[in-house]
Amino acid sequence: MQRSFTLLLGCLLLTSTLAQAAVPTPPKVAARAYILQDFDSGRIIAEKNANQPVEPASLTKIMAGYVIDKELAAGNISLNDQVRISKKAWKMPGSRMFVEVDTFVSVEDLIRGIIIQSGNDATVAMAEYVAGSEDAFVSLMNGYARELGMTGTHFVNATGLPHKDHYTTARDLAILSRALIREFPEMYRLYAEKEFTYNGIRQYNRNKLLWQDKYVDGIKTGHTESAGYCLAASAKRDGMRLIAIVLGTKSENARASEAQKLLTYGFRFFETHKLYRAGETLTQARVWKGERESVPLGLAEDLFITIPRGSYDKLKATMRVAKKIIAPVQAGQRFGSVDIALTGENVAQRDLVALDSVGEGGFFGSLVDEVQLMFE
């Protein structure tokens, strides 16, 4: 059995300054597939064909960058490492950083070549440096895709060149983009850089939104004839970050304008609030037969909620707590849930977990509790 009670939200010192208005339907987006997602809460605000397999083109390089960031974080490589450019990397078709065969280029420069210049040569050079070969690097890419839950994705190469077995989905690219920004915020700053010069050749970031919208700080463009023009964009405005993925538009201008439509819609009609912090004590629960009589309960992760603008005051939080908690208790063990409702509709639910461990109590105390439990 569980007991339920209302959890006050007023202590959050958050206010809704706008009267709640009806949220219009999302704008029409001229793309084969798209998705708009809040970064913190994970709420999908708008989508179309989000689970449909599509060619990602150079959006593939978001995963290549994620793998490289993983290697940097693990200490397996460093930004100052010098990478020898192989003949295979030098000969790569498509977008290029214009590295020269048998020269040495720093990891940091190659990363910029991947992110800003979308260089296929830079991507293959890094793949070979990290894993020994592009094929081995692709195995790492697919492994991380599985770990992240990108169930509609399969990579064949590191660059995004067309292949019938190389595909992903808008939803999976949003999952990947959230992971990239969340896990590697320092490296993510490179995705906002507008230009990079290497070997005397200046190239500009193809993400036009970096010039058109001051809130946009990434992420990546992609294009092949079969994939169309693609864009993964992210913007942060007044503490709220959105991720927009548009796939298969008709032109460079179209991918920017269609992504901008989604971002504008999300910021205009929705707001995101952090309701509770991870590890924050939300209640104290009675523990029977323990070395202590109570245990603090809270959430394992921060709880964010994305709701229509002006509707914060209509939120209601309810906790459901297990009626009988008997020691031993392990930190992280589930003992109920926190439910968030908006005008009667449940919009979020999170496990309520023990924030501390509680060992078994002594014989006499346990005996007393046993007798009390008989009358509960």
For residue 376, the surrounding DSSP H or E stretch is none
Rounded-to-integer distance, Cα 95 and Cα 61, Å: 12
Catalytic residue status for 61: yes
- Catalytic one among 41, 61, 261, 311? 61
- CB atoms inside a 10 Å sphere around CB 154: 15
Catalytic residue status for 58: yes
Catalytic residue status for 177: no
Helix (H, G, I), strand (E, B) or coil at 118: coil
Q: What is the DSSP letter of 208?
A: T
| Per-residue three-class SS string for 211-232 | HHCCCEEEEEEEEECCCEEEEE
Retrieve residue 341's tokens: 């409702």
Helix (H, G, I), strand (E, B) or coil at 167: strand
DSSP 257-324: HHHHHHHHHHHHHEEEEEEE-TT---EEEEEESBSSSEEEEE-SS-EEEEEETT-GGGEEEEEEEES-
Retrieve residue 305's tokens: 């909620």
- Catalytic one among 58, 177, 234, 311? 58
- Catalytic one among 118, 177, 311, 337? 118
Q: What is the DSSP letter of 158?
A: S
- CB atoms inside a 10 Å sphere around CB 280: 13
CA distances from 249 to 58, 82, 228, 261, 361 (A): 14, 38, 6, 13, 65
Which positions are annotated as active-site residues? 58, 61, 118
